Amino acid sequence: MTETVWLFTDGACSGNPGPGGWGALLRYKKQERELSGAEPDTTNNRMEMMAVIMGLRALTRPCRVQVVSDSQYVIKGIQEWLPAWRRNGFKTAAKKPVANEDLWRALDAEVAKHQVQWQWVRGHDGHAENERVDTLARAAIDQLREAS
């Protein structure tokens, strides 16, 4: 695992909850692959998580991955909160079920396959790749609306 795969991700929601989309951009050396998807009734946080999950699932072998996201929810969740949730049977400190447990478990499983580093960027601040994946996520919402 010498080369790093860059994974830029974003999620969007039109209403929260409401129709949502996610976008991911994988970059390895000079190759790029765009991914996106949408759900009719979801939340912004779920779409942020789906972007990372689907980006990691697209990798065909264990890799060193640099995930770049504007979601503090995803980055703090995976780095700070998840270890305690795992120990507590996916319960919060207040003994309540963890929100989005299904996606946290899926994300945890995908991250375990790779060497992942996390980088937060400010959203809608001119970061080229973040703007690109935001566009992918919003286009996925538009396609969902057109199809229904």
Annotated ligand binding at 70? The verdict is yes
* CB of 54 closer than 8 Å to CB of 35: yes
Q: Residue ranges of the domains in the chain?
A: 5-147
Q: How confident is the model at residue 2 (pLDDT cuts 50, 70, 90)?
A: low
Structure tokens belonging to residue 73: 């929810």
State the pTM of this model.
0.96
pLDDT-derived band of residue 143, with 50, 70 and 90 as boundaries?
Answer: very high
10 is in an annotated binding site: yes
* Range 5-147 has CATH code 3.30.420.10: yes
What is the average pLDDT across 56-75? 97
Q: Is 142 a catalytic residue?
A: no
Residue 139 pLDDT > 60: yes
102 catalytic per annotation: no
User: Which pLDDT does position 148 carry in this prediction?
Assistant: 81
56-79-50 Cα angle (round to 5): 35
89 a catalytic residue = no
Helix 44-57, helix 128-147: angle, nearest 10: 110
Percent of the chain past pLDDT 90, that is, above it, reads 95
Q: Which of 37, 48, 77, 110 is catalytic?
A: 48
Give me the mean pLDDT over the 89-97 stretch.
93
Reported as a single tens digit per residue, the pLDDT across 108-125 is 999 999 999 999 999 989
Q: Which residues of 2-40 are buried (b: 16+ CB within 10 A; e: fewer)?
A: eeebbbbbbbbbbeeeebbbbbbbbbeeeeeeebbbbbe
Determine the average pLDDT of the residues in 26-47. 97
Is 134 annotated in a binding site? The answer is yes
Which of 70, 77, 110, 114 is the catalytic position?
70
